[in-house]
Structure 1
Amino acid sequence: MREYDFETGEILLLDKPLHWTSFDVVKKVRNLLRVKKIGHAGTLDPLASGLLILCTGKYTKKIEEIQAQEKEYTGHFTIGKTTPSFDLETEVDQVCDYQQLTEQDIRAAAATFVGQINQVPPLFSAVKINGERAYTLARRGEEAEIKAKPIHIYAFEITKLELPLVHFRVVCSKGTYIRSLARDFGQQLGCGAHLSQLIRTRIGEYSLEQALTIADIQAIRKYQQEQHAGNS
């Protein structure tokens, strides 16, 4: 096992478990490694899994630089059903028939999103509205207007069709909400859609294949303790 110097600075690639918040991961790793300065470079929703990058020590200065890099995601949308949160956090509120859609229709719809587009973030998101997180308003049942912002979709591939599931791979810029892409994709198809699975597979040069698990972090901590005990 290689030596880590978390106080001086490390970039840790973590495979975020499903249902954990990004803050849950930071808190767990901070407690396990007894490191004072630590932060993550790009939030992942609790219902998403995959690559979460943590920076410790002096490397926390690299967070903005890492966040600015392009992201890659895989997962699937469920067409014909919508939810208020655009994912599985909330119950289905509308059902629409999609039987008339062909594979060509679905692939053509995906192609319309490639390039620079304006996207409205979800109300169930961490976007701030008058100093308050949008998801706080949403969970209180309040409505709020969120302005569209420019993003870039570098690739939007349909990798497999198992209707109503549409499997995808998306490469996009910072600030892209895949849940909003699900909503907009469903509207383009005319039957609605929501995000039913999301995995972040890459941020810039960093890939999920290189990522550690929470169990790996626990093993690193145990190794450090044993090394410390052996040297004392």
Structure 2
Amino acid sequence: MTKTLADYDFETGEVLLLDKPLTWTSFDVVRKVKNTLRIKKIGHAGTLDPLATGLLILCTGKKTKEIDLIQAQEKEYTGTFRLGETTPSFDLETAVDMARPYAHLTDEEITAATAQFMGLIQQTPPIFSAVKIDGKRAYELARTGQEAEIKAKSVEIKTFELTRIALPEVDFRVVCSKGTYIRSLARDLGVALGCGAHLTRLVRTRIGEYRVEDAFTLEAIEALRPPRPEGEAPARPRRERPHTAPNRAGLQYFAALQADALAAKEHEAAKDAADAPETPTE
């Protein structure tokens, strides 16, 4: 029998699987679930970047003691790299800062380049990350234009396969250890190919035996919101973070891309309407 949200005892302790929406931070999701279900003790087992979607594991009550154990398990991701362009954040959070030719690369050359990133490797996290430098988060320094040195660390990549090559896009599946940055893998693959690359899409599909297919959406959580006791007024009006408001996460470039895409779509729709033949009248 499949367990439904109504069967959970969040106060005693549960492991809850969530499918994180695009542009939401992991903390946004924790706060949303905590406020919606009125859970006193809750935390997440492994951060997902705002521009990543997929499996985010929340632990409540006594199950928060298992957070470290869950975080230590291997992760699986799927997504897309774009060859020929780099960004300072290694993803769409920041604007493209360099472009290089990529059309000369063959599928065989691209696939062969992945081999050097298999097994135990040294990887340098992105400057736009939550790594701490002298007590500050690296992304805080990066967003104010400060330079900082981040040390490489040892990570393990167990699987790195390319599932689609349609230049400049390359789809992938990666199985890796805790602490692996897929954005850094994009950067490193681009360096190995000599054309640069950055991450344009990322989905976390698995942590250990937990899978995104079994995760709940935030809409399902919202539907379970308990009624407020009669006579009890909220301390302050609820303010939900819009799905398309990325400013707090520093996603100005992504927001600009979305605005351009919407403008292009509206322009195309207007053009189609203007070109459409007039409907004859009686």
Bin of the TM-score, shorter chain as denominator length: over 0.9
Q: 1:37 aligns with which of 41, 58, 64?
A: 41
Which of these two proteins has the greater Rg computed from alpha carbons? 2
Gaps of 5+ in 2: 231-282
> 1:169: which partner in 2?
173
1:100 maps to a residue whose letter is: H
- 1:141 aligns with 145
- Residues 157-210 of structure 1 show CA distances to partners (whole Å, capped at 9, x for unaligned) of 000011100000000000000000000000001100000000000000000000
Work out the percentage of aligned pairs sharing the same amino acid: 68
Give secondary structure in 2 for the equivalent of 1:75: strand
Distance in structure 1 (CA, Å) of the matches to 2:9 and 2:15: 10
In 1, the alpha carbon distance for the partners of 2:147 and 2:72 equals 30
Give the Å deviation of 1:99: 1.2
Cα drift, residue 220 of structure 1:
2.6
- What is the rounded CA distance, in whole Å, between the counterparts of 1:101 and 1:37 in structure 2? 51
Structure 1 segment 1-232 matched on structure 2, within 5 A: 1=4, 2-222=6-226, 225=227
Quick one: which amino acid aligns to residue 221 of structure 1?
R
Deviation digits for residues 94-120 of structure 1, max 9, x if unmatched?
A: 000011100000000112111000000
Which residue identity does 1:68 align to in structure 2? A
Structure 1 residue runs of 4+, over 6 Å off?
none
Equivalence for 2:235: none
In 2, distance between residues paired with 1:18 and 1:99?
A: 30
Query: What code does the residue aligned with 1:57 have?
Result: G
Question: 2: distance between equivalents of 1:77 and 1:63?
Answer: 30
Aligned-pair CA distance for 1:15:
0.2
The question of whether the paired residues in 1 share the 8 Å contact of 2:8 and 2:14 is answered with: yes
Cα distance between partner residues in 2 of 1:167 and 1:201: 14
**RMSD in angstroms over aligned alpha carbons?**
1.4
Normalization by structure 1: what TM-score? Answer: 0.95
Counterpart secondary structure, 2:59: strand
Per the normalisation by structure 2, the TM-score is 0.78
Deviations 1:47-99 (A, max 9, x none): 00000000000100000000000000000000000000000000000000011
TM-superposed CA distance for 1:219, in Å, is 2.2
Deviations 1:100-153 (A, max 9, x none): 100000000112111000000000000000000000000010111100000000
